[in-house]
Structure 1
Amino acid sequence: MARIRFIRDGYAATTVRDIADDAGVNVALINRYFTSKEGLFEACLGMAVSDISRDTENVSLEQITVRMANKITAGTDEARLQDSLMMLLRTSGEERVNGMRREILLAVSQKLAAAGGRPVDDQALLRAQIMLGTALGITLLRSSLHLTPIDSADEQDLIGPLTDVINALLPRG
């Protein structure tokens, strides 16, 4: 419930009362387990990290394209991953929360940069972050804006263009 509320309304506009009402629980219960709205958001980000990490652990360049296309086009089974990506895109208005988001995106970027087998220097990291930006952008265009034809593209439609982008940005070491 909290995760959906944070994605839909953003961190600043979401209140613990809103989340408690959505979940049908008392505010005190949320505060007992998470201490604050920031603690609850941090727990939601932790779930997002787990979702994303599962898809970037020990991944080779050959696997990146297929995994990315699969996750971007997946149906309801992968809605949670798309929600995680959207949660990372929403600004919070809180520097500490934005710092948490930056740390997560940096860690994912480092894993992508390492997938090419090259040393993870600033150039490799820049290229990986451009690749990450591409994936986040595609997710945004599909899940929020429903821009066609990218919204209706299936996994096979995306594999070719994603392969081109990945080969250009993340050359083998």
Structure 2
Amino acid sequence: MTPTAEPRRRDAAATRLLLLRAARRRFAGTGYAATTVREVADDAGVNVALISRYFESKEGLFAACLADAVAELRRTTGEITFAELPEAIAARVADAGPDGRPSEVLMLLLRSSGDERADAIRRRVLRSYAERLVAAAGGDQGDDDAVLRAELLLAASMGVVLFRSSGLEPLAAAGPADLVGPLRALVGALLTPRSAG
């Protein structure tokens, strides 16, 4: 019985990964509301019923895509120090595919879904990422002012992604090395702990 159980697990994991990749492309490209589970299943080359099996619903699939996107951000940035933060942000916002479009990860975080439950999931993910920035700066994640400043940094970074994708020059042609200096100033202004008054 063990020999047959092992391949099924591998197939299940591979199928789940296929669905996640297909869903990320769809959600990032056309948004949550315009994406159907049938399209995702067709893109993955699997039966649509498997979405319910592995993710329960379209909402569950979207949440899994966001969790996967955040895990990818953590894998690619690792545990960064406060001093490394500007370089990490510059590398991420300059990351574009061969067509010049922002990465799927950023588009998932940027694109409003049109669905309140899906948007609530996205907001939770963004809030947790802001809290991670606060922690990298040595701040208190429960400090609303520090989280606000981190969210402003995220908003500015996402704005850079949008402006670059629109072709605004010289921003669109700027590489990570060009972005580090201005981002260092922005990170320092927003995340450096304020001195006690």
TM-score range, shorter chain: 0.7 to 0.9
1:93 to 114, 131, 138: 114
Which residue matches 1:159? 180
Residue 57 of structure 2 is aligned to residue 36 of structure 1? yes
Gaps of 5+ in 1: none
- Provide the rounded CA distance (Å) in 1 between the counterparts of 2:85 and 2:78: 10
Residue 145 of structure 2 is aligned to residue 123 of structure 1? yes
Note the 1:99-118 alignment, pairs <5 A: 99-118=120-139
Aligned length: 170
- Provide the rounded CA distance (Å) in 2 between the counterparts of 1:148 and 1:131: 21
Note the 1:9-158 alignment, pairs <5 A: 9-54=30-75, 58-74=79-95, 76=97, 82-120=103-141, 121-143=143-165, 145-158=166-179
- Provide the rounded CA distance (Å) in 1 between the counterparts of 2:116 and 2:92: 29
Q: Residues 28 and 149 of structure 1: is their aligned pair in 2 closer, same or farther, counting only changes over 3 Å?
A: same
1:40 is matched by which residue type in structure 2?
Answer: L
SS of the residue corresponding to residue 108 of structure 2 reads helix
Whichever structure has more helix as a proportion of its residues is 1
SS of the residue corresponding to residue 103 of structure 2 reads helix
1:60 is matched by which residue type in structure 2?
Answer: T
Which residue matches 2:14? none
1:132 is matched by which residue type in structure 2?
Answer: L
State the 1:87 CA deviation.
Answer: 0.4
2:152 is matched by which residue type in structure 1?
Answer: I
Gaps of 5+ in 2: 1-21
1:66 is matched by which residue type in structure 2?
Answer: E
Superposed CA RMSD in Å reads 2.2
- Provide the rounded CA distance (Å) in 2 between the counterparts of 1:167 and 1:103: 25
- Provide the rounded CA distance (Å) in 2 between the counterparts of 1:24 and 1:118: 46
Q: Which moved more, 1:94-103 or 1:26-35?
A: 26-35
1:30 is matched by which residue type in structure 2?
Answer: I
2:110 is matched by which residue type in structure 1?
Answer: L
Q: Residues 36 and 66 of structure 1: is their aligned pair in 2 closer, same or farther, counting only changes over 3 Å?
A: same
In our comparison, the structure showing a higher alpha carbon Rg is 2
Q: Percent identity?
A: 46
Q: Deviations over 1:11-67 (max 9, x none)?
A: 111101111222222212333222221121121111012122335654222100111
2:84 is matched by which residue type in structure 1?
Answer: Q
TM-score (norm 1): 0.87
